[in-house]
Structure 1
């Protein structure tokens, strides 16, 4: 039964591609906020659609494709912002503290992984986790700043630790 669902979803994806790929490429080509070529983004959209169940039930495929494209663009822009911020900080360092291109890539990838992990948390959980782990703030101070109870701060920090664990477990 699972095989027939996969075959139906592949057929639905094939139909979406044949019917809407040209439109998607033209739509992406008109956007000024894109971070890569329309062809690359269209490919990424269809790759993302591959992982979605019940594609045959989608009533508005163009709306789905534009939503997926916007999310991919936002993720790419966020990663690009992290990379540019890091490179700007590196440029401000004295030459004696400069690091190799390989080390720079490792740090940028680590920062992007941290950013992706933090983006899975709610705003309050992210702030509580960072205040606790980076700033070393006591839970009572964090609770006062966020306007929540100390027990809620514990839950937020636990969510952050869980997200960190899952992110590191997924990396291998």
Structure 2
């Protein structure tokens, strides 16, 4: 009785072929958008890392697929840069004596990115209800009126948002 050989990992072969065939094209595309070689190279690598982490095995339209994955990564990157610029701008407004150390600044930026990702993971109405409550101090009744939902729905939204926050803290 002969033993069957394990199947070759065709998925990894497909990703390797995708990389070798389209990495240069993707880099050039991102470089044109960003105007920065290092950022473009980082985003290319992030794109292929995400593809490796996914379960997609066949790439029928490779450039369209790469464009879609890279587009999401680029959007996240732009959002992150925008958040960093806003934080650094706020720091410039603070008195010099109150400026945090570079290490503290880094930790604050990382925390802001985590909070931003947490908020992005919430459904849009849940996120909006949570932000209206937490940033503006609106009462649940006013939020229900503004979102045109019932009070019980706002309470469900808030519960969902708070549970997500608890997961983040753990």
TM range (shorter): 0.7 to 0.9
Tell me the TM-score normalised to structure 1 length. 0.85
Q: Using the alignment, how far apart are the partners of 2:78 and 2:121 within structure 1?
A: 17
**Alignment match, 2:169:** 168
Unpaired runs of at least 5, structure 1: none
Deviation at 1:102, TM superposition (A): 1.4
3-state secondary structure, aligned to 2:167: helix
**1:1-172 → structure 2 map (5 Å cutoff):** 4=7, 7-32=9-34, 36-56=38-58, 58-169=59-170
Distance between the aligned counterparts of 1:132 and 1:106, measured in 2? Answer: 26
In structure 2, C-alpha distance between the alignment counterparts of 1:162 and 1:9, rounded to whole Å? 37
| Contact 1:35/1:76 (8 A) holds in 2 | no
Distance 2:37 2:150 in 1: 41
Larger CA Rg, structure 1 vs 2: 2
Deviations 1:70-120 (A, max 9, x none): 111111111111111111111111223222111111111111111111011
Tell me the TM-score normalised to structure 2 length: 0.85
Structure 2, unpaired ranges of 5+:
1-5
For the 8 Å contact 2:31–2:37, the answer to whether it is kept is no
Bigger drift between 146-155 and 14-23 goes to 14-23
**Alpha-carbon deviation of 1:164?**
1.6
SS of match in other structure, 2:11: helix
